Amino acid sequence: MSSDPYGDRGNTAPSAAHGGATPAAADEPFLIGQGMTGGYGNGPDILHDCTIAVEKGEIAVIVGPNGAGKSTAMKAVFGMLDLRAGHVRLAGEDITALSPQDRVAKGMGFVPQTNNIFTSMTVEENLEMGAFIRNDDFSGTMEQIYDLFPILRDKRRQLAGELSGGQRQQVAVGRALMTQPKLLMLDEPTAGVSPIVMDELFDRIIEVARTGIPILMVEQNARQALEIADKGYVLVQGANAYTGTGKELLADEEVRKSFLGG
Amino acid sequence: MDFLNAIVALSNYVLIPGIAYGSQLALGALGVTLVYGILRFSNFAHGDTMAFGAMITVLVTWWLQSLGVSLGPLPTALLALPFGILGCVLLLLATDRVVYRFYREKKAKPVILVIVSMGVMFIMNGIVRLIIGPDDQRFLDGERFLISARDFKEMTGLSEGLAIKSTQVITLITAIIVVALLFWFLNRTRAGKSMRAYSDNEDLALLSGVNPERVVMLTWVIVAALATVAGVLYGLDKSFKPFTYFQLLLPIFASAIVGGLGNPLGAIAGGFVIAFSEVTITYAWKKVLGYLMPDSLAPDGLVQLLSTDYKFAVSFVILLIVLLFKPTGLFKGQSV
C-alpha cells in the first residue's frame, strides 16, 4: 500500500484509446470498469485486463490475497490512477476521463481505507463537509444518516477523532452518503476493527444497500464479505481469477482452498 | 498599603504591558499558524508582512492627518487600518500568484517553501525600507493615556502610580474583536469550515469538492488582515520601525509553536505565554519585592533575571523547552 492513501490524483487525459463514446448496451451494469489495465504514475501495470461491475441494488465485493490489486482496482474505477487500457462507465456514460472530484459530482461516493474522516472536526461538521458540493438543504439527508447510524446522533457534537474505530468508519460512510450518491464504494471498511464491530458494520452496510444504493466494496475478510455479496470478484495479481455470486464463490472448491482457508 | 502598592506596581510594569504585548504576539502567531495549517509551511515573511501592512496604514494615517481628519481621542490610524489591510491583501495575493503558486503546483516540499518564504521576506523587507525608510516613524495621535500615573496617584492616594496607555486598551479590545470574528468565521461559516477541513485532511477535502485555490486565497486574505492589525497595534503601542518587525518573527514563531502549530487557540495561548515570560524575566523586581518584604530583607540589587537586551533569549529557551518535552505544543498541534 502506498503511503499516499489516495494514490495518483492527477488523472491526466487517459492514454488508453477508448474508441469514442460507445453507446451502452441496454443490459449493461450500472457501473462497470471494463478491461482495466494500469498502475500508479509511470510505474508498472498493477491491473491486467481487470473487469469489475456493479448492478443496481446489489452489493459487489472484491476479494483476493494481499497485493492482488483489490484497492487498486477500486481506485481505478474511481479515477485515482491512469488507465492504459479499458474504460469505466457509469449508467452508460463513459467517465474514464473524469477526475475523482467530477465522479463524486456524477454520483459516486467513495470511502477511502485510511484518513477517511476530518479528525479535528465534529461528527456533524464531517457530515456537513460531505455535503459541501450540495447547494440545497441537506438537513433531511443528515437525518437519514443519523437514523442509519444512531450512535452518530448521540455524538454529533463530539470531535470525530475522539471516536472508536467502528464509529469513525460510520462517520466516514455517513460523510460519503451526504452527497446522496447513486453508488457507494468502500475500501476495506472493516480494516482494523474488532470482529464484533465488524459484524455490526456489515449489518449497517446491508442496510445502506437496502435503501437502494449499490455498493462496491474491497474486503480483507473474504468469507464474511462474500456472505453478504450479490456478486464477488476474486483478483489474483491484478487480474480476474474467479467471478460469481457470493454463494457460488463460497461453494467453489478452488476459491475456498486458495483464499478462504479450506 | 504596601501590599496594594506592590499590586499596582506589578500591574503597571508587568500585567498591563504583558497583556498588550501578548495580544500583539497572539495576532501575529494566528497568521503564522493559519499559513502553516493550510499552506503547510512556516512563513518567515510574516514579520515583514506585518511591517508592510503597518507601513500602508502609517502612510494613509499621515495623509488623513494632513487633511485634518481625526477620530478625536482615538488614533487616526484606526481609520487608516482598512486601507492597510487592503494593501496587504493585494501584496499577499500578488506574492501568491507570482511565487507560491508556482511551488504549490510543483508540490514543493515544505522545507523548500520555507526557504522561498525567506526570499519573500527579504524582498518585502526591502520594499518597506525603500518606501518609508529604515527609521522610527511616529503616527500615533489622540489621547495618550486612559489613566495617567499622576491621576491615579491623586485618585487613590497610593505612592505607586498606574498608567494605562490608550494604545494598550485599544490593542486588547481590537484583539478580542478580531479573534472573535476569526473564530466565528472558522467555526460557523461554510467557507471557514472548508478551510479547517482542508487543513485537517487535504485529500478528503478535495474529495468532498473543496476548491483548494479558493481556500488558499481566503487564507491569504485573512492572514493579511491579521498581520496588518497586529503590525499596526504594535506600531501604535511601541513605534513603527521596519527592523523591529523582522525581530518580532522569533517571539511570534515561538508563540505559534509553543501553542501548537496549526491550532488557532494554541497561537493565542502561546502569545500570552511568551509575552508574560519575556516581561516577567526582564522586569526588575526590586520595587515589588521592596513593598512586599520587611525592610531588613529588601533586595539590594535590581532582581532582574535577565537584561532587556536579552529578551529574545527568553523566546528561544521556552521554544526549546516545549520542543523537548511536548513537540506538538501545549494545545494539540502538528509537530514541527
Output the pLDDT for position B310.
87
Q: Say whether A133 and B208 touch across the interface (CB within 8 A).
A: yes
User: Would you call B280 helix, strand, or coil by DSSP?
Assistant: helix
Domain residue limits at B154? 16-250
pLDDT average, residue stretch A234-247: 92
Interface contact B211, partner A, CB < 8 A: no
Chain B touched by A186 (CB under 8 Å)? no
**A10 confidence band (pLDDT: 50, 70, 90):** very low
Q: What residues make up the domain containing A145?
A: 108-180
The answer to whether the CB atoms of B208 and A130 lie below 8 A apart is yes
Per CB-CB distance under 8 Å, the chain B contacts of A104 are: 207-209
Q: How confident is the model at residue B2 (pLDDT cuts 50, 70, 90)?
A: confident
pLDDT digits (tens, 9 = 90+) for A78-102: 998 889 999 999 999 999 999 999 9
Question: Is a pLDDT exceeding 90 seen at residue B187?
Answer: yes
Q: Say whether residue A132 is in contact with chain B using an 8 A CB cutoff.
A: yes
pLDDT at B177 over 80: yes
CB–CB contact A100 B193 (8 Å): no
Q: Does A100 touch chain B (CB under 8 A)?
A: yes
Measure CB to CB from residue A110 to each of B194, B197, B207 and give the nearest one: B207
Reported as a single tens digit per residue, the pLDDT across B210-227 is 999 999 999 999 999 999
Q: Are B18 and B207 in contact (CB under 8 A)?
A: no
Q: Which of B207, B213, B328, B332 to mutate to test the interface with A (most CBs of A within 10 A)?
A: B207
| A1 Cβ under 8 Å from any chain B Cβ | no
pLDDT in tens, A185-216: 999 998 888 889 999 999 999 999 999 999 99
Closest-CA residue of chain A to B209: A133
Q: How confident is the model at residue A42 (pLDDT cuts 50, 70, 90)?
A: confident
Name every chain B residue with its beta carbon within 8 A of the beta carbon of A4.
203
Residue B271 included in any domain: no
Judge whether B206 lies within some domain: yes
Determine the angle formed by the axes of helices B190-200 and B212-237, rounding to 10 degrees: 100
The mean pLDDT value for A45-71 works out to: 92
Looking at the complex, does the CB of residue A160 fall below 8 Å from at least one CB of chain B? no
**Averaged pLDDT, B322-327:** 89
By CA distance, what is B210's nearest residue in A?
Answer: A132
Q: Any CB–CB contact under 8 A between B213 and chain A? A: no
Q: Does residue A257 surpass a pLDDT of 50? A: yes
Instruction: Name the closest residue on chain A to residue B198, using Cα atoms.
Output: A118
CA distance A26 to A62: 25
The answer to whether residue A34 sits within a structural domain is: no
Query: pLDDT digit string (tens) for B301-310?
Result: 888 888 888 8
Task: Tell me whether residue A153 is in a domain.
Answer: yes
Q: How far apart are CA B242 and CA A34, in angstroms?
A: 63
* A262 confidence band (pLDDT: 50, 70, 90): low
List, for residues B269-319, the tens digit of each pLDDT value: 999 999 999 999 999 888 888 888 888 887 888 888 888 888 889 999 999
Degrees to nearest 5, angle at CA A64 with A62 and A67: 110
Q: How does pLDDT run across A133-174, given as a tens digit for each residue?
A: 999 999 999 999 999 999 999 999 999 999 999 999 999 999
The number of folded domains in chain A is 1
Would the CB atoms of B205 and A133 count as touching at under 8 Å? Answer: no
Which of the residues B188, B196, B202, B204 would you substitute to probe the A interface, choosing the one with the greatest number of A C-beta atoms within 10 Å? B204
* Structure-block grid coordinates of residue B58: 502609517
Q: What is the pLDDT of residue A20?
A: 42
The strand ranges marked E within B142-272 are 145-147, 164-165
* Mutation site, B194, B206, B208, B214, interface A, largest A CB count within 10 A: B208
Q: Please check whether residue B321 is in contact with residue B256, taking contact to mean a CB–CB distance below 8 angstroms.
A: no
- Can you give the pTM of this predicted structure? 0.88
- Predicted confidence (pLDDT) per residue in B253-264, tens digit: 999 999 999 899
Q: How confident is the model at residue B56 (pLDDT cuts 50, 70, 90)?
A: very high
Give the A:B interface size as CB pairs under 8 Å: 62
Q: Across the interface, do B210 and A132 touch by the CB < 8 Å criterion? A: yes
Cβ of B203 and A119 within 8 Å? no
- Whether A110 has its CB under 8 Å from any CB of chain B: the answer is yes
Average pLDDT over residues B38-62: 96
Q: Where are the beta strands (DSSP E) in B52-172?
A: 145-147, 164-165
Tell me the chain B residues in contact with residue A9 when contact means C-beta distances shorter than 8 Å: 203, 206
How far apart CA A228 and CA A100 sit, in angstroms, is 27
What's the gap between Cα A22 and its chain centre? 25
CB A101 to CB B209 under 8 A? yes
The bridge status of strand A59-63 relative to strand A231-236 is parallel
- Assess A128–B contact: CB distance below 8 Å, yes or no: yes
For residues B215-242, average pLDDT: 96
Rounded to a whole number, what is the distance in Å from the CA of B265 to chain A's nearest CA? 13
pLDDT at A166: 92
Which residue in the set A5, A110, A129 is minimally distant from B197, CB to CB? A129
What ipTM was reported for this prediction?
0.85
What mean pLDDT, rounded, does chain A reach? 87
The verdict on a CB contact (< 8 Å) between B205 and A104 is no
- Search chain B and give the residue with CA nearest A119: B200
Crossing angle of the two packed helices B16-39 and B264-282, in degrees rounded to 10: 140
B72 found inside a domain: yes
Q: Is residue B329 part of a domain?
A: no
pLDDT of A253 > 90? The answer is no
- Shortest CA distance to B319 belongs to which of B251, B235, B261? B251
- Domain membership flag for residue A252: no
Q: Is pLDDT at A14 greater than 80 in this prediction?
A: no
Q: Do B207 and A6 touch (CB under 8 A)?
A: yes
Residue A188 grid cell: 476495506
A contacts of B208 (beta carbons < 8 Å): 104, 129-130, 132-133, 175
Do A119 and B197 count as a contact with CB atoms less than 8 A apart?
no
